Chain A
Amino acid sequence: MFKNLTVGRALVYAALLLMAIYYLLPLYVMLTTSFKSLDDIRAGNMLSLPQAWQGGAWVKAWAEACTGVECNGMQGFFWNSIKMTLPAVAISTILGAVNGYVVSMWRFRGSDALFTMLLVGCFIPFQVVLLPMAQVLGMLGIANTTTGLVLVHVVYGTAFTTLFFRNFYITVPDELVKAARIDGAGFWTIFFRILLPISGPIFVVCIIWQFTQIWNDFLFGVVFASGEAQPITVALNNLVNTSTGVKEYNVDMAAAIIAALPTLFVYMVAGRYFVRGLTAGAVKG
Protein backbone atom coordinates (compact mmCIF):
# COMPACT_ATOMS: atom_id res chain seq x y z
CA MET A 1 0.00 0.00 0.00
CA PHE A 2 2.95 2.33 0.53
CA LYS A 3 3.64 2.57 -3.17
CA ASN A 4 0.76 4.90 -3.89
CA LEU A 5 0.81 6.65 -0.54
CA THR A 6 0.97 10.29 -1.55
CA VAL A 7 0.99 13.22 0.83
CA GLY A 8 -2.66 13.82 0.10
CA ARG A 9 -3.66 10.31 1.01
CA ALA A 10 -1.56 10.43 4.15
CA LEU A 11 -3.47 13.55 5.17
CA VAL A 12 -6.80 11.84 4.49
CA TYR A 13 -5.81 8.92 6.68
CA ALA A 14 -4.52 11.23 9.41
CA ALA A 15 -7.78 13.17 9.44
CA LEU A 16 -9.86 10.00 9.56
CA LEU A 17 -7.74 8.60 12.37
CA LEU A 18 -8.04 11.82 14.32
CA MET A 19 -11.81 11.68 13.98
CA ALA A 20 -11.80 8.06 15.13
CA ILE A 21 -9.90 9.08 18.25
CA TYR A 22 -12.39 11.88 18.88
CA TYR A 23 -15.30 9.43 18.74
CA LEU A 24 -13.58 6.78 20.82
CA LEU A 25 -12.24 9.10 23.49
CA PRO A 26 -15.43 9.31 25.58
CA LEU A 27 -15.77 5.53 25.57
CA TYR A 28 -12.14 5.19 26.66
CA VAL A 29 -12.58 7.76 29.41
CA MET A 30 -15.78 6.11 30.63
CA LEU A 31 -14.20 2.66 30.73
CA THR A 32 -10.94 3.67 32.44
CA THR A 33 -12.70 5.93 34.94
CA SER A 34 -15.09 3.14 35.89
CA PHE A 35 -12.14 0.92 36.87
CA LYS A 36 -10.37 3.54 38.99
CA SER A 37 -10.65 4.18 42.69
CA LEU A 38 -11.66 7.69 43.80
CA ASP A 39 -8.11 8.46 44.96
CA ASP A 40 -6.85 7.25 41.61
CA ILE A 41 -9.24 9.63 39.86
CA ARG A 42 -8.02 12.57 41.91
CA ALA A 43 -4.35 11.66 41.50
CA GLY A 44 -4.28 11.28 37.73
CA ASN A 45 -6.25 12.88 34.94
CA MET A 46 -9.06 11.48 32.85
CA LEU A 47 -6.71 10.15 30.16
CA SER A 48 -4.42 8.25 32.51
CA LEU A 49 -4.88 4.51 32.89
CA PRO A 50 -5.95 3.17 36.29
CA GLN A 51 -3.03 2.56 38.63
CA ALA A 52 -4.82 -0.54 39.82
CA TRP A 53 -7.82 -1.89 37.93
CA GLN A 54 -10.69 -2.19 40.39
CA GLY A 55 -14.21 -3.49 39.83
CA GLY A 56 -15.66 -1.93 42.97
CA ALA A 57 -17.42 0.88 41.13
CA TRP A 58 -19.21 -1.66 38.93
CA VAL A 59 -20.50 -3.61 41.91
CA LYS A 60 -21.65 -0.41 43.53
CA ALA A 61 -23.30 0.89 40.34
CA TRP A 62 -25.14 -2.38 39.84
CA ALA A 63 -26.27 -3.08 43.39
CA GLU A 64 -25.61 -0.28 45.91
CA ALA A 65 -25.59 3.20 44.39
CA CYS A 66 -28.31 5.65 45.40
CA THR A 67 -30.79 6.79 42.78
CA GLY A 68 -32.79 9.06 45.02
CA VAL A 69 -34.07 7.68 48.33
CA GLU A 70 -33.27 4.10 47.48
CA CYS A 71 -29.78 2.68 47.29
CA ASN A 72 -30.08 -0.55 45.36
CA GLY A 73 -28.06 0.44 42.33
CA MET A 74 -29.15 0.07 38.75
CA GLN A 75 -30.15 -3.59 38.80
CA GLY A 76 -33.88 -3.12 39.39
CA PHE A 77 -34.12 -0.40 36.78
CA PHE A 78 -32.23 -2.49 34.26
CA TRP A 79 -34.96 -5.13 34.60
CA ASN A 80 -37.62 -2.41 34.42
CA SER A 81 -36.20 -1.36 31.08
CA ILE A 82 -36.16 -4.95 29.83
CA LYS A 83 -39.74 -5.54 30.99
CA MET A 84 -40.76 -2.34 29.22
CA THR A 85 -38.73 -2.73 26.03
CA LEU A 86 -39.42 -6.34 25.04
CA PRO A 87 -43.24 -6.24 24.98
CA ALA A 88 -43.31 -2.73 23.51
CA VAL A 89 -40.97 -3.74 20.68
CA ALA A 90 -42.88 -6.96 20.00
CA ILE A 91 -46.34 -5.37 19.93
CA SER A 92 -45.37 -2.30 17.90
CA THR A 93 -43.48 -4.42 15.36
CA ILE A 94 -46.38 -6.84 14.84
CA LEU A 95 -48.85 -3.96 14.50
CA GLY A 96 -46.50 -2.22 12.09
CA ALA A 97 -46.20 -5.36 9.96
CA VAL A 98 -49.94 -5.85 9.45
CA ASN A 99 -50.56 -2.11 9.08
CA GLY A 100 -47.79 -1.80 6.52
CA TYR A 101 -49.24 -4.82 4.70
CA VAL A 102 -52.66 -3.16 4.50
CA VAL A 103 -51.52 0.29 3.34
CA SER A 104 -49.25 -1.20 0.66
CA MET A 105 -51.07 -4.31 -0.60
CA TRP A 106 -54.74 -3.71 0.25
CA ARG A 107 -55.14 -0.06 -0.56
CA PHE A 108 -58.73 1.08 -0.43
CA ARG A 109 -60.31 4.42 -1.10
CA GLY A 110 -58.84 6.87 1.39
CA SER A 111 -56.12 4.52 2.65
CA ASP A 112 -53.32 6.80 1.43
CA ALA A 113 -54.84 9.72 3.31
CA LEU A 114 -55.18 7.58 6.43
CA PHE A 115 -51.54 6.54 6.14
CA THR A 116 -50.48 10.19 5.87
CA MET A 117 -52.61 10.93 8.91
CA LEU A 118 -50.77 8.18 10.80
CA LEU A 119 -47.39 9.51 9.71
CA VAL A 120 -47.99 12.87 11.39
CA GLY A 121 -47.44 10.94 14.62
CA CYS A 122 -43.76 10.58 13.66
CA PHE A 123 -43.21 14.31 13.52
CA ILE A 124 -44.96 15.81 16.51
CA PRO A 125 -42.87 16.90 19.48
CA PHE A 126 -44.05 14.52 22.20
CA GLN A 127 -44.32 17.39 24.67
CA VAL A 128 -47.64 18.15 23.05
CA VAL A 129 -49.18 14.85 24.25
CA LEU A 130 -47.57 14.54 27.68
CA LEU A 131 -50.19 16.29 29.80
CA PRO A 132 -53.24 14.44 28.42
CA MET A 133 -51.34 11.14 28.49
CA ALA A 134 -50.50 11.64 32.15
CA GLN A 135 -54.22 12.22 32.85
CA VAL A 136 -55.30 9.16 30.87
CA LEU A 137 -52.70 6.88 32.45
CA GLY A 138 -53.92 8.08 35.83
CA MET A 139 -57.55 7.35 34.91
CA LEU A 140 -56.60 3.87 33.69
CA GLY A 141 -54.74 3.26 36.95
CA ILE A 142 -51.43 2.57 35.21
CA ALA A 143 -49.56 5.76 36.00
CA ASN A 144 -46.03 5.03 37.24
CA THR A 145 -46.11 1.45 35.99
CA THR A 146 -44.19 -0.45 33.36
CA THR A 147 -47.51 -1.39 31.75
CA GLY A 148 -48.26 2.30 31.27
CA LEU A 149 -44.90 2.85 29.59
CA VAL A 150 -45.43 -0.14 27.30
CA LEU A 151 -48.76 1.36 26.21
CA VAL A 152 -47.18 4.75 25.54
CA HIS A 153 -44.31 3.30 23.52
CA VAL A 154 -46.65 1.09 21.47
CA VAL A 155 -49.00 3.99 20.75
CA TYR A 156 -46.27 6.37 19.59
CA GLY A 157 -44.00 3.73 18.04
CA THR A 158 -46.51 2.17 15.68
CA ALA A 159 -46.42 5.11 13.25
CA PHE A 160 -42.72 4.36 12.67
CA THR A 161 -43.07 0.60 12.41
CA THR A 162 -45.95 1.04 9.94
CA LEU A 163 -43.75 3.31 7.85
CA PHE A 164 -40.90 0.75 7.88
CA PHE A 165 -43.08 -2.15 6.71
CA ARG A 166 -45.04 -0.07 4.22
CA ASN A 167 -41.82 1.13 2.56
CA PHE A 168 -40.62 -2.47 2.40
CA TYR A 169 -43.83 -4.01 1.09
CA ILE A 170 -44.35 -1.49 -1.71
CA THR A 171 -41.14 -2.85 -3.27
CA VAL A 172 -42.77 -6.31 -3.53
CA PRO A 173 -44.25 -6.79 -7.03
CA ASP A 174 -48.05 -6.47 -7.16
CA GLU A 175 -48.30 -9.48 -9.47
CA LEU A 176 -47.29 -11.79 -6.65
CA VAL A 177 -50.30 -10.81 -4.59
CA LYS A 178 -52.67 -10.59 -7.56
CA ALA A 179 -51.77 -14.09 -8.66
CA ALA A 180 -52.34 -15.41 -5.17
CA ARG A 181 -55.75 -13.74 -5.00
CA ILE A 182 -56.81 -15.30 -8.28
CA ASP A 183 -55.81 -18.64 -6.82
CA GLY A 184 -58.23 -17.93 -4.00
CA ALA A 185 -55.82 -16.95 -1.26
CA GLY A 186 -57.31 -14.58 1.28
CA PHE A 187 -55.98 -11.67 3.32
CA TRP A 188 -54.21 -13.67 6.01
CA THR A 189 -53.05 -16.48 3.73
CA ILE A 190 -51.22 -14.00 1.52
CA PHE A 191 -49.70 -12.32 4.53
CA PHE A 192 -48.50 -15.47 6.26
CA ARG A 193 -47.59 -17.58 3.23
CA ILE A 194 -46.18 -15.02 0.80
CA LEU A 195 -45.06 -11.85 2.58
CA LEU A 196 -43.94 -13.05 6.00
CA PRO A 197 -41.34 -15.47 4.59
CA ILE A 198 -39.60 -12.62 2.74
CA SER A 199 -39.91 -10.09 5.57
CA GLY A 200 -36.92 -11.22 7.62
CA PRO A 201 -34.64 -8.23 6.94
CA ILE A 202 -37.29 -5.60 7.59
CA PHE A 203 -38.24 -7.31 10.85
CA VAL A 204 -34.61 -7.10 11.96
CA VAL A 205 -34.37 -3.43 10.98
CA CYS A 206 -37.61 -2.58 12.72
CA ILE A 207 -36.87 -4.53 15.89
CA ILE A 208 -33.41 -2.99 16.24
CA TRP A 209 -34.76 0.50 15.65
CA GLN A 210 -37.59 0.12 18.13
CA PHE A 211 -35.33 -1.54 20.69
CA THR A 212 -32.84 1.33 20.54
CA GLN A 213 -35.51 4.02 20.65
CA ILE A 214 -37.47 2.52 23.53
CA TRP A 215 -34.46 1.47 25.59
CA ASN A 216 -32.91 4.91 25.22
CA ASP A 217 -36.08 6.88 25.84
CA PHE A 218 -35.91 9.34 28.70
CA LEU A 219 -38.83 11.73 28.20
CA PHE A 220 -41.69 9.22 28.60
CA GLY A 221 -39.83 7.46 31.39
CA VAL A 222 -39.24 10.54 33.49
CA VAL A 223 -42.78 11.89 33.01
CA PHE A 224 -44.86 8.72 33.32
CA ALA A 225 -42.79 6.49 35.64
CA SER A 226 -40.49 8.42 37.88
CA GLY A 227 -40.84 6.10 40.87
CA GLU A 228 -40.14 2.40 41.34
CA ALA A 229 -40.98 1.56 37.75
CA GLN A 230 -38.56 4.06 36.23
CA PRO A 231 -36.49 2.84 33.30
CA ILE A 232 -32.71 2.75 33.46
CA THR A 233 -32.17 6.06 31.65
CA VAL A 234 -34.14 7.89 34.33
CA ALA A 235 -32.34 6.02 37.09
CA LEU A 236 -28.98 6.90 35.56
CA ASN A 237 -29.89 10.56 35.45
CA ASN A 238 -31.00 10.44 39.09
CA LEU A 239 -27.82 8.65 40.11
CA VAL A 240 -25.61 11.20 38.39
CA ASN A 241 -27.52 14.30 39.37
CA THR A 242 -28.44 13.59 43.00
CA SER A 243 -25.57 15.22 44.79
CA THR A 244 -25.29 13.74 48.26
CA GLY A 245 -21.81 13.54 49.66
CA VAL A 246 -18.76 12.83 47.55
CA LYS A 247 -19.28 12.64 43.81
CA GLU A 248 -18.28 9.16 42.70
CA TYR A 249 -17.36 9.55 39.07
CA ASN A 250 -16.25 5.95 38.76
CA VAL A 251 -19.70 4.75 39.82
CA ASP A 252 -21.37 7.24 37.45
CA MET A 253 -19.35 5.93 34.54
CA ALA A 254 -19.95 2.27 35.38
CA ALA A 255 -23.70 3.00 35.62
CA ALA A 256 -23.64 4.83 32.29
CA ILE A 257 -21.95 1.89 30.59
CA ILE A 258 -24.46 -0.53 32.14
CA ALA A 259 -27.27 1.62 30.73
CA ALA A 260 -25.60 1.66 27.31
CA LEU A 261 -24.61 -2.02 27.11
CA PRO A 262 -27.77 -3.53 25.56
CA THR A 263 -27.96 -1.03 22.69
CA LEU A 264 -24.20 -1.11 22.16
CA PHE A 265 -24.37 -4.89 22.01
CA VAL A 266 -27.13 -4.76 19.41
CA TYR A 267 -25.10 -2.23 17.42
CA MET A 268 -22.02 -4.45 17.47
CA VAL A 269 -23.92 -7.57 16.46
CA ALA A 270 -26.22 -6.07 13.86
CA GLY A 271 -24.64 -2.75 12.93
CA ARG A 272 -25.46 -3.23 9.28
CA TYR A 273 -29.19 -3.34 10.00
CA PHE A 274 -28.85 -0.58 12.54
CA VAL A 275 -27.57 1.82 9.89
CA ARG A 276 -30.31 0.78 7.52
CA GLY A 277 -32.89 1.47 10.20
CA LEU A 278 -31.41 4.87 10.92
CA THR A 279 -31.56 5.95 7.32
CA ALA A 280 -35.05 4.55 6.81
CA GLY A 281 -36.67 5.74 9.99
CA ALA A 282 -34.47 8.69 10.59
CA VAL A 283 -37.32 11.12 10.97
CA LYS A 284 -37.81 10.11 14.58
CA GLY A 285 -34.56 11.58 15.79
Chain B
Amino acid sequence: MSASPSQGRLSALADRWLPKLVLSPTLAASLIFVYGFIAWTGWLSFTESRLMPRYDWAGLLQYQALFENERWWTAAANLGIFGSLFILFCLLVGLLMAVLLDQKIRAEGALRTIYLYPMALSFVVTGTAWKWMLNPDMGLQKVMNDLGFANFTFDWLVNPDMSIYTVVIAGVWQSSGFVMALFLAGLRGIDDSIIKAAQVDGASLPTIYRRILIPSLRPVFFSVLLILSHIAIKSFDLVMALTGGGPGTSSDVPAIFMYQFAFTRGQLGQGAASAMMMLFTIVAVLVPLMYMETRSAKRV
Protein backbone atom coordinates (compact mmCIF):
# COMPACT_ATOMS: atom_id res chain seq x y z
CA MET B 1 0.00 0.00 0.00
CA SER B 2 1.47 3.37 -0.97
CA ALA B 3 -0.59 5.82 1.00
CA SER B 4 -0.15 9.56 0.54
CA PRO B 5 1.21 11.31 3.66
CA SER B 6 -2.15 12.81 4.58
CA GLN B 7 -3.88 9.44 4.26
CA GLY B 8 -1.19 7.88 6.44
CA ARG B 9 -1.73 10.46 9.13
CA LEU B 10 -5.46 9.92 8.93
CA SER B 11 -5.22 6.17 9.38
CA ALA B 12 -2.72 6.60 12.20
CA LEU B 13 -5.22 8.90 13.87
CA ALA B 14 -7.96 6.32 13.31
CA ASP B 15 -5.80 3.62 14.82
CA ARG B 16 -5.32 5.73 17.93
CA TRP B 17 -8.99 6.37 18.46
CA LEU B 18 -10.68 3.30 17.08
CA PRO B 19 -9.71 0.93 19.92
CA LYS B 20 -11.13 3.32 22.50
CA LEU B 21 -14.21 3.94 20.40
CA VAL B 22 -14.84 0.21 19.96
CA LEU B 23 -14.47 -0.47 23.66
CA SER B 24 -16.56 2.48 24.82
CA PRO B 25 -20.11 1.05 24.40
CA THR B 26 -19.24 -1.93 26.57
CA LEU B 27 -17.53 0.30 29.13
CA ALA B 28 -20.51 2.62 29.22
CA ALA B 29 -22.84 -0.36 29.65
CA SER B 30 -20.65 -1.68 32.46
CA LEU B 31 -20.59 1.71 34.19
CA ILE B 32 -24.37 2.02 34.03
CA PHE B 33 -25.62 -1.54 34.34
CA VAL B 34 -23.07 -2.87 36.79
CA TYR B 35 -21.63 0.00 38.83
CA GLY B 36 -24.55 2.37 38.49
CA PHE B 37 -27.08 -0.30 39.30
CA ILE B 38 -25.15 -1.48 42.35
CA ALA B 39 -25.15 2.11 43.61
CA TRP B 40 -28.86 2.38 42.80
CA THR B 41 -29.65 -0.82 44.71
CA GLY B 42 -27.45 0.41 47.54
CA TRP B 43 -29.41 3.63 47.69
CA LEU B 44 -32.74 1.79 47.64
CA SER B 45 -31.53 -0.24 50.61
CA PHE B 46 -31.29 3.02 52.61
CA THR B 47 -34.86 4.11 51.87
CA GLU B 48 -38.32 3.18 53.03
CA SER B 49 -39.28 1.81 49.59
CA ARG B 50 -42.08 -0.69 49.62
CA LEU B 51 -44.25 -1.25 46.54
CA MET B 52 -42.77 1.72 44.70
CA PRO B 53 -39.18 2.95 44.91
CA ARG B 54 -38.73 6.02 47.07
CA TYR B 55 -35.55 7.94 47.38
CA ASP B 56 -35.58 9.75 50.73
CA TRP B 57 -32.88 8.71 53.09
CA ALA B 58 -34.06 6.43 55.90
CA GLY B 59 -30.76 5.28 57.29
CA LEU B 60 -30.22 1.68 58.29
CA LEU B 61 -33.94 1.01 58.70
CA GLN B 62 -34.05 -1.78 56.08
CA TYR B 63 -30.97 -3.51 57.43
CA GLN B 64 -32.39 -3.35 60.93
CA ALA B 65 -35.62 -4.92 59.72
CA LEU B 66 -33.62 -7.53 57.80
CA PHE B 67 -31.59 -8.53 60.82
CA GLU B 68 -34.73 -8.81 62.92
CA ASN B 69 -36.38 -10.96 60.29
CA GLU B 70 -36.24 -14.60 61.32
CA ARG B 71 -36.74 -15.70 57.75
CA TRP B 72 -33.56 -13.92 56.71
CA TRP B 73 -31.60 -15.87 59.31
CA THR B 74 -33.17 -19.11 58.14
CA ALA B 75 -32.05 -18.26 54.64
CA ALA B 76 -28.56 -17.33 55.81
CA ALA B 77 -28.22 -20.50 57.89
CA ASN B 78 -29.43 -22.57 54.94
CA LEU B 79 -26.84 -20.96 52.72
CA GLY B 80 -24.23 -21.95 55.29
CA ILE B 81 -25.44 -25.56 55.41
CA PHE B 82 -25.96 -25.88 51.70
CA GLY B 83 -22.78 -24.03 50.77
CA SER B 84 -20.43 -25.99 53.01
CA LEU B 85 -21.90 -29.44 52.26
CA PHE B 86 -22.23 -28.71 48.55
CA ILE B 87 -18.61 -27.57 48.33
CA LEU B 88 -17.33 -30.42 50.51
CA PHE B 89 -19.06 -33.20 48.58
CA CYS B 90 -18.30 -31.69 45.18
CA LEU B 91 -14.62 -31.55 46.13
CA LEU B 92 -14.56 -35.11 47.49
CA VAL B 93 -16.51 -36.69 44.65
CA GLY B 94 -14.78 -34.62 41.99
CA LEU B 95 -11.29 -35.34 43.27
CA LEU B 96 -11.99 -39.04 43.73
CA MET B 97 -13.34 -39.40 40.22
CA ALA B 98 -10.45 -37.43 38.76
CA VAL B 99 -7.90 -39.67 40.49
CA LEU B 100 -9.73 -42.83 39.42
CA LEU B 101 -10.08 -41.61 35.84
CA ASP B 102 -6.37 -40.80 35.80
CA GLN B 103 -5.49 -44.55 35.99
CA LYS B 104 -5.27 -45.08 32.21
CA ILE B 105 -8.88 -46.13 32.04
CA ARG B 106 -10.49 -47.63 28.97
CA ALA B 107 -13.43 -45.64 27.68
CA GLU B 108 -12.28 -42.62 29.63
CA GLY B 109 -13.86 -40.30 27.09
CA ALA B 110 -17.26 -41.96 27.41
CA LEU B 111 -17.13 -41.87 31.21
CA ARG B 112 -16.12 -38.21 31.20
CA THR B 113 -19.03 -37.42 28.92
CA ILE B 114 -21.41 -39.16 31.33
CA TYR B 115 -20.01 -37.43 34.42
CA LEU B 116 -20.20 -34.01 32.89
CA TYR B 117 -23.52 -33.92 31.04
CA PRO B 118 -25.51 -32.59 34.04
CA MET B 119 -23.52 -29.38 33.69
CA ALA B 120 -25.25 -28.77 30.35
CA LEU B 121 -28.67 -28.88 32.02
CA SER B 122 -30.55 -26.01 33.51
CA PHE B 123 -30.82 -26.10 37.31
CA VAL B 124 -34.58 -26.00 36.77
CA VAL B 125 -34.42 -29.28 34.86
CA THR B 126 -32.20 -30.81 37.54
CA GLY B 127 -34.58 -29.65 40.25
CA THR B 128 -37.58 -31.05 38.40
CA ALA B 129 -35.94 -34.44 37.95
CA TRP B 130 -34.83 -34.75 41.57
CA LYS B 131 -38.15 -33.48 42.86
CA TRP B 132 -39.71 -36.49 41.19
CA MET B 133 -37.05 -38.96 42.29
CA LEU B 134 -37.13 -37.83 45.92
CA ASN B 135 -40.92 -37.74 45.98
CA PRO B 136 -41.82 -39.30 49.33
CA ASP B 137 -44.62 -41.49 48.00
CA MET B 138 -43.53 -42.60 44.59
CA GLY B 139 -39.83 -41.98 44.27
CA LEU B 140 -36.83 -43.51 45.96
CA GLN B 141 -38.92 -44.63 48.92
CA LYS B 142 -41.14 -46.79 46.74
CA VAL B 143 -38.15 -48.34 45.00
CA MET B 144 -36.71 -49.37 48.36
CA ASN B 145 -40.07 -50.63 49.59
CA ASP B 146 -40.50 -52.70 46.42
CA LEU B 147 -37.02 -54.11 46.96
CA GLY B 148 -38.18 -55.47 50.31
CA PHE B 149 -37.19 -52.71 52.73
CA ALA B 150 -40.75 -52.20 53.91
CA ASN B 151 -39.88 -49.69 56.61
CA PHE B 152 -37.63 -47.52 54.50
CA THR B 153 -38.88 -43.96 54.49
CA PHE B 154 -37.39 -41.00 52.72
CA ASP B 155 -39.35 -37.82 53.30
CA TRP B 156 -36.61 -35.18 53.21
CA LEU B 157 -38.42 -33.22 50.51
CA VAL B 158 -41.42 -32.57 52.78
CA ASN B 159 -39.56 -32.61 56.08
CA PRO B 160 -38.73 -29.04 57.19
CA ASP B 161 -35.67 -30.26 59.12
CA MET B 162 -34.19 -32.05 56.09
CA SER B 163 -35.42 -30.19 53.00
CA ILE B 164 -32.22 -28.16 52.53
CA TYR B 165 -30.24 -31.41 52.25
CA THR B 166 -32.20 -32.43 49.15
CA VAL B 167 -30.80 -29.29 47.53
CA VAL B 168 -27.32 -30.54 48.43
CA ILE B 169 -28.02 -33.92 46.80
CA ALA B 170 -29.23 -32.40 43.54
CA GLY B 171 -26.55 -29.70 43.54
CA VAL B 172 -23.72 -32.19 43.99
CA TRP B 173 -25.16 -34.35 41.21
CA GLN B 174 -25.12 -31.39 38.85
CA SER B 175 -21.75 -29.84 39.66
CA SER B 176 -19.38 -32.62 40.82
CA GLY B 177 -18.60 -33.78 37.27
CA PHE B 178 -17.38 -30.32 36.49
CA VAL B 179 -15.07 -30.36 39.51
CA MET B 180 -13.79 -33.71 38.23
CA ALA B 181 -12.99 -32.13 34.86
CA LEU B 182 -11.02 -29.31 36.48
CA PHE B 183 -9.03 -31.66 38.74
CA LEU B 184 -8.37 -34.08 35.90
CA ALA B 185 -7.04 -31.23 33.75
CA GLY B 186 -4.83 -30.27 36.69
CA LEU B 187 -3.52 -33.82 37.14
CA ARG B 188 -2.75 -34.11 33.43
CA GLY B 189 -0.80 -30.88 33.60
CA ILE B 190 1.69 -32.25 36.14
CA ASP B 191 5.11 -33.17 34.81
CA ASP B 192 5.42 -36.96 34.37
CA SER B 193 9.05 -36.97 35.46
CA ILE B 194 8.04 -36.11 39.05
CA ILE B 195 5.91 -39.26 39.20
CA LYS B 196 8.63 -41.40 37.63
CA ALA B 197 11.23 -40.12 40.08
CA ALA B 198 8.97 -40.93 43.02
CA GLN B 199 8.33 -44.42 41.63
CA VAL B 200 12.06 -45.00 41.34
CA ASP B 201 12.35 -44.02 44.99
CA GLY B 202 9.88 -46.79 45.77
CA ALA B 203 6.83 -44.69 46.62
CA SER B 204 3.51 -46.47 46.16
CA LEU B 205 0.82 -45.00 43.95
CA PRO B 206 -1.45 -43.84 46.82
CA THR B 207 1.54 -42.18 48.47
CA ILE B 208 2.45 -40.42 45.25
CA TYR B 209 -1.07 -39.03 44.99
CA ARG B 210 -1.30 -38.06 48.64
CA ARG B 211 2.12 -36.52 49.02
CA ILE B 212 2.96 -35.18 45.59
CA LEU B 213 0.12 -34.95 43.09
CA ILE B 214 -2.78 -33.69 45.18
CA PRO B 215 -0.70 -31.05 46.99
CA SER B 216 0.47 -29.72 43.66
CA LEU B 217 -3.17 -29.18 42.69
CA ARG B 218 -3.35 -26.27 45.13
CA PRO B 219 -4.09 -23.59 42.52
CA VAL B 220 -6.84 -25.78 41.06
CA PHE B 221 -8.30 -26.17 44.54
CA PHE B 222 -8.61 -22.43 44.88
CA SER B 223 -10.29 -21.97 41.51
CA VAL B 224 -12.69 -24.81 42.29
CA LEU B 225 -13.49 -23.26 45.67
CA LEU B 226 -14.01 -19.91 43.97
CA ILE B 227 -16.41 -21.34 41.42
CA LEU B 228 -18.35 -23.52 43.85
CA SER B 229 -18.83 -20.81 46.44
CA HIS B 230 -19.98 -18.51 43.68
CA ILE B 231 -22.55 -21.08 42.54
CA ALA B 232 -23.65 -21.67 46.14
CA ILE B 233 -24.18 -18.03 47.08
CA LYS B 234 -26.12 -17.33 43.88
CA SER B 235 -28.13 -20.55 43.97
CA PHE B 236 -31.71 -19.73 43.18
CA ASP B 237 -33.19 -21.77 40.33
CA LEU B 238 -32.31 -25.15 41.81
CA VAL B 239 -34.05 -24.35 45.09
CA MET B 240 -37.01 -22.79 43.30
CA ALA B 241 -37.56 -25.89 41.17
CA LEU B 242 -36.81 -28.47 43.84
CA THR B 243 -38.45 -27.19 47.01
CA GLY B 244 -39.61 -23.66 46.21
CA GLY B 245 -37.95 -22.72 49.51
CA GLY B 246 -40.34 -24.97 51.41
CA PRO B 247 -41.91 -26.68 53.18
CA GLY B 248 -42.79 -23.33 54.68
CA THR B 249 -39.56 -21.37 54.55
CA SER B 250 -37.42 -24.28 55.68
CA SER B 251 -35.19 -24.39 52.59
CA ASP B 252 -35.16 -20.67 51.91
CA VAL B 253 -31.87 -19.19 50.67
CA PRO B 254 -30.88 -15.51 50.36
CA ALA B 255 -31.49 -15.44 46.59
CA ILE B 256 -35.07 -16.62 47.09
CA PHE B 257 -35.57 -14.23 49.99
CA MET B 258 -34.41 -11.37 47.77
CA TYR B 259 -36.64 -12.41 44.86
CA GLN B 260 -39.75 -12.78 46.97
CA PHE B 261 -39.40 -9.59 48.97
CA ALA B 262 -38.47 -7.52 45.93
CA PHE B 263 -40.80 -8.95 43.32
CA THR B 264 -43.72 -10.79 44.86
CA ARG B 265 -44.21 -9.16 48.26
CA GLY B 266 -43.68 -5.55 47.24
CA GLN B 267 -40.95 -4.83 49.78
CA LEU B 268 -38.35 -3.23 47.54
CA GLY B 269 -36.27 -1.91 50.42
CA GLN B 270 -35.95 -5.33 52.01
CA GLY B 271 -35.14 -6.83 48.62
CA ALA B 272 -32.43 -4.21 48.03
CA ALA B 273 -30.92 -4.68 51.49
CA SER B 274 -30.79 -8.47 51.09
CA ALA B 275 -29.23 -8.07 47.62
CA MET B 276 -26.53 -5.85 49.11
CA MET B 277 -25.90 -8.46 51.78
CA MET B 278 -25.43 -11.06 49.04
CA LEU B 279 -22.94 -8.78 47.32
CA PHE B 280 -21.01 -8.34 50.57
CA THR B 281 -20.97 -12.10 51.10
CA ILE B 282 -19.57 -12.71 47.61
CA VAL B 283 -16.89 -10.07 48.14
CA ALA B 284 -16.04 -11.45 51.59
CA VAL B 285 -15.64 -14.98 50.20
CA LEU B 286 -14.14 -14.33 46.79
CA VAL B 287 -11.56 -11.66 47.57
CA PRO B 288 -9.52 -13.79 50.04
CA LEU B 289 -9.85 -16.81 47.73
CA MET B 290 -8.63 -14.83 44.72
CA TYR B 291 -5.75 -13.49 46.77
CA MET B 292 -4.77 -17.00 47.87
CA GLU B 293 -5.21 -18.31 44.32
CA THR B 294 -2.83 -15.78 42.80
CA ARG B 295 -0.33 -16.36 45.62
CA SER B 296 -0.37 -20.15 45.30
CA ALA B 297 -0.22 -19.91 41.50
CA LYS B 298 2.92 -17.80 41.78
CA ARG B 299 4.59 -20.26 44.11
CA VAL B 300 4.06 -23.31 41.91
A9 at the interface (CB under 8 A from B): yes
Q: Mark B11-27, 1 if CB is under 8 A from A, else 0.
A: 10011001110110111
Q: Mark B116-141, 1 if CB is under 8 A from A, else 0.
A: 11111111111011111101001110
Are A240's CB and B279's CB within 8 A?
A: no
Asked whether A99 and B23 contact (CB < 8 A) given A13-B105, A130-B275, the answer is: yes
Are B241's CB and A282's CB within 8 A?
A: no
A124 at the interface (CB under 8 A from B): yes
Binds B, one of A23-31, A52-60, A64-72, A195-203: A23-31
Are B124's CB and A129's CB within 8 A?
A: no
Are A24's CB and B114's CB within 8 A?
A: yes
Are B41's CB and A233's CB within 8 A?
A: no
Chain A residues positioned under 8 Å from B286 (CB to CB)? 123
Chain A residues positioned under 8 Å from B36 (CB to CB)? 132
Chain B residues positioned under 8 Å from A219 (CB to CB)? 236-237, 255, 259
Interface residues on B, range: 35 or more
Asked whether A46 and B138 contact (CB < 8 A) given A117-B30, A240-B241, the answer is: yes
Are B19's CB and A156's CB within 8 A?
A: no
Q: Which residue of B lies closest to A255 (CB)?
A: B128
Chain B residues positioned under 8 Å from A24 (CB to CB)? 114
Are B268's CB and A264's CB within 8 A?
A: no
B263 at the interface (CB under 8 A from A): yes
Q: Which residue of B lies closest to A234 (CB)?
A: B124
Chain B residues positioned under 8 Å from A63 (CB to CB)? none
Known A12-B105, A271-B116; 13 more pairs at CB < 8 Å: A23-B173, A30-B132, A123-B230, A125-B278, A127-B234, A127-B259, A128-B276, A132-B41, A186-B14, A253-B128, A253-B129, A259-B122, A283-B226
Are A46's CB and B143's CB within 8 A?
A: yes
**What CA separation (Å) do A278 and B255 show in the bound complex?**
23
Asked whether A131 and B268 contact (CB < 8 A) given A9-B103, A13-B105, A184-B1, the answer is: yes
Q: Which residue of A lies closest to B181 (CB)?
A: A275
Chain B residues positioned under 8 Å from A26 (CB to CB)? 118, 126, 129-130, 133, 173
Min CB–CB distance A104 → chain B (angstroms): 11
